[in-house]
Structure 1
Amino acid sequence: MTLLLLSACARTTGGAAAGDAAASGGPSGNPPAGDSLVLRVEHYGGFVGTNLRVGRIPDISVYADGRVITPGPQIAIYPGPALPNLVVVQLTPEQVRELTRRAQDAGVRSGTDLGRPTVSDATTTRITVRADDKKYALDAYALSEAQSQDPTLTPAQNAARGKVAGFVQELNDLSTGTAKSQPYVAQQVAVLATPWVKPGNDLPKQPGPQAWPGPALPGEYLVPQSKQGCLTVTGAEAQTVLAAAAKANANTPWVSDGQQWRVSFRPLLPDETSCNAFRAPQ
């Protein structure tokens, strides 16, 4: 991660409508202390199954201590590994402050109009900034799916969306910059469980059922209609579960109390403490 990339961010300005800002105006650029979340870009909604909406990993999470956590490269096989690949790089305090200022310039504040393109079933990009004990959020519907010059929007709305999209691209460039990344080692993990269904017969032979090494599945139902449960595993038990998951794939059946479950493992990020982190937005 270099200051050159941050300088590129500084040249991108914009404006948009805030989703749930705690106050009008923008952040001053002073991030909170410790490992509190400073900036996040994530997606929600869209035409995907309910099970896939829960526990989505944010595109980028920046913390006050300088950690930047993003999804890393994913191996192109099916079924994929049970554990998602998350990586972390380190910024300086000055770089973190620069990012919060760039977020303000990009329009993460109240009062600017992004409009709503006439695109169906698209995702919403949410950019969240926390500074000076306040939270500012910007929601941009169909930011990547809509035309860059949507004829149903005003020139001002298209211009604002372009600036927001530019800022998001700068953040993506930042997260894949020159700094050496390290694997993100989670201290706790959320386990999302649904009843296991045998996949099609066209797949290569898969490992057989594995004994579940953690608390009884499925936990609390977050999505009752699809029987998707969630539980949080912490401490030494979390490391046992993560070690078992590292040897499994996404279709591995896990046996808990005599029933087979399909499990998605979601390492919790530093600002997340339980399955409640996945309740909104969905």
Structure 2
Amino acid sequence: MTTNRGLMTAVAVPLLLLGACARPGVAGEAGAPGSAAPVTESTTPDPATIALRVEYRGGFVPAETIPSRLPQFTVYADGRAITEGPVTLIYPGPSLPNLQEIRLSEAQVRELTAGAVAAGVKAGADFGTPGVADAPSTRISVVTAGGEQAVEVMALGQASPDDTSLTAAQQAARKKVTEFIGSLHELFADAASPAAKPYQAERVAVLASPYQDTGDGLAGAPVKWPAAELPGAFLNEELRINCLTVDGTAKDEVLAAAAKGNERTPWESAGKKWQIKFRPLLPDEKECADLKKQA
């Protein structure tokens, strides 16, 4: 059985996890995910310019997992569109996320950005605050010829249709945004046009923390770390999350080793064992510091 790991996060957040509280939703928020310069037909698109992004913020999840969280969807001005595809429902899960990429035409990118605005992604949009605790918010940002528009919708997939905390207008606004995100899922689900292929990241962030053996025997044997000595510099000193990036030949060796392990595999480096989350960097991300914006 397979499922979309990113979508699962929004639909059913495990109640046993210890983690960060959801950040209050902000309608009409103006932000800058990656490079958010206005996109126009008269300029050559910068490959790292985001045209559209859908991502989760906050939620009742372990705080240490947030830096490795991937956006639901990212569409770039040059037509690349990236999402996390389905993964097999096993435990422990695979070490590496199943990132998929499709190529869109310039017309398709314009259609998507216009569709986002038509669905309510614009300043002043009111999605209300439902009576749901600990759910993530969904942030949607779109860059048009007039600049960036962004909204953040609390508990988009969890609020009940009869939630008395929401007005009829707010429920209608949430429905339009939900349908728009659904159209993005459909875009990637159609493997024939355009064809999806695995996303090949130029750099991969390696998020390392001290290994903790749960004693269930599912982690497998320790694996010797094949690249620069772990753990790298602190990304979050309080949570003891370290980060380094690998590219070129080192990246290829790391990915080959990770493909044989699972998310619980202990990695040995400099006489110590480490737990690792692998986070392929997207085109608008260049270094570990770029992952701090996920919090």
| TM-score of the two chains, using structure 2 as the length reference | 0.82
For 2:259, the aligned partner's letter is A
Deviation at 1:207, TM superposition (A): 3.3
Alignment of 1:29-44 (within 5 A): 30=40, 33-35=45-47, 36-44=49-57
Out of 185, 189, 199, which is 2:200 matched to? Answer: 185
Q: What is the RMSD computed on CA atoms of the aligned residues?
A: 2.1
- Checking the alignment, whether the CA contact within 8 Å between 2:38 and 2:146 is kept in structure 1 is no
- Checking the alignment, whether the CA contact within 8 Å between 1:30 and 1:97 is kept in structure 2 is no
More relative contact order in 1 or in 2 (CA 8 Å, sep 6+)? 1
- Checking the alignment, whether the CA contact within 8 Å between 1:21 and 1:110 is kept in structure 2 is no
- Checking the alignment, whether the CA contact within 8 Å between 1:148 and 1:162 is kept in structure 2 is no
Deviation at 1:28, TM superposition (A): 8.9
Q: Give the secondary-structure state (helix, strand or coil) at the position aligned to 1:226.
A: coil
- Checking the alignment, whether the CA contact within 8 Å between 1:123 and 1:141 is kept in structure 2 is yes
Out of 70, 74, 77, which is 2:90 matched to? Answer: 77
Q: Give the secondary-structure state (helix, strand or coil) at the position aligned to 1:74.
A: strand
Deviation at 1:48, TM superposition (A): 0.6
Instruction: Write the deviation string for residues 222-256 of structure 1: whole angstroms up to 9, x where unpaired.
Output: 22222111111122222222122122211111111
Out of 59, 69, 77, which is 1:46 matched to? Answer: 59
Q: Does 1:19 align with 2:19?
A: no
Query: Are residues 84 and 21 of structure 1, via their aligned partners in 2, closer, same or farther at CA, if it must alter by over 3 Å?
Result: closer
Unaligned runs of 5+ in 2: 1-25
Identity rate, percent: 44
For 1:142, the aligned partner's letter is A
Task: Give the whole-Å Cα distance in 2 for the aligned partners of 1:149 and 1:29.
Answer: 39
Task: Give the whole-Å Cα distance in 2 for the aligned partners of 1:155 and 1:262.
Answer: 47
- Checking the alignment, whether the CA contact within 8 Å between 2:38 and 2:147 is kept in structure 1 is no
Task: Give the whole-Å Cα distance in 2 for the aligned partners of 1:72 and 1:160.
Answer: 27
- Provide the residue aligned with 1:86 in structure 2: 99
Q: Does 1:279 align with 2:292?
A: yes
Q: Does 1:68 align with 2:81?
A: yes
For 2:197, the aligned partner's letter is Q
- Checking the alignment, whether the CA contact within 8 Å between 1:19 and 1:138 is kept in structure 2 is yes
Task: Give the whole-Å Cα distance in 1 for the aligned partners of 2:248 and 2:86.
Answer: 27
| TM-score of the two chains, using structure 1 as the length reference | 0.86
- Provide the residue aligned with 2:274 in structure 1: 261
Q: Give the secondary-structure state (helix, strand or coil) at the position aligned to 2:230.
A: coil
Query: Are residues 66 and 89 of structure 1, via their aligned partners in 2, closer, same or farther at CA, if it must alter by over 3 Å?
Result: same
Q: Does 1:96 align with 2:109?
A: yes
Instruction: Write the deviation string for residues 187-243 of structure 1: whole angstroms up to 9, x where unpaired.
Output: 110001111111233x45x53211111222222222222211111112222222212
Query: Are residues 29 and 190 of structure 1, via their aligned partners in 2, closer, same or farther at CA, if it must alter by over 3 Å?
Result: closer
Instruction: Write the deviation string for residues 68-97 of structure 1: whole angstroms up to 9, x where unpaired.
Output: 111112022211221111111121111111
- Checking the alignment, whether the CA contact within 8 Å between 1:197 and 1:262 is kept in structure 2 is yes
Out of 236, 241, 261, which is 2:254 matched to? Answer: 241
Deviation at 1:29, TM superposition (A): 7.5
For 1:126, the aligned partner's letter is R
Out of 111, 128, 132, which is 1:115 matched to? Answer: 128
Query: Are residues 163 and 133 of structure 1, via their aligned partners in 2, closer, same or farther at CA, if it must alter by over 3 Å?
Result: closer
Task: Give the whole-Å Cα distance in 1 for the aligned partners of 2:232 and 2:168.
Answer: 49
Instruction: Write the deviation string for residues 105-137 of structure 1: whole angstroms up to 9, x where unpaired.
Output: 112111121111121101000111123373221
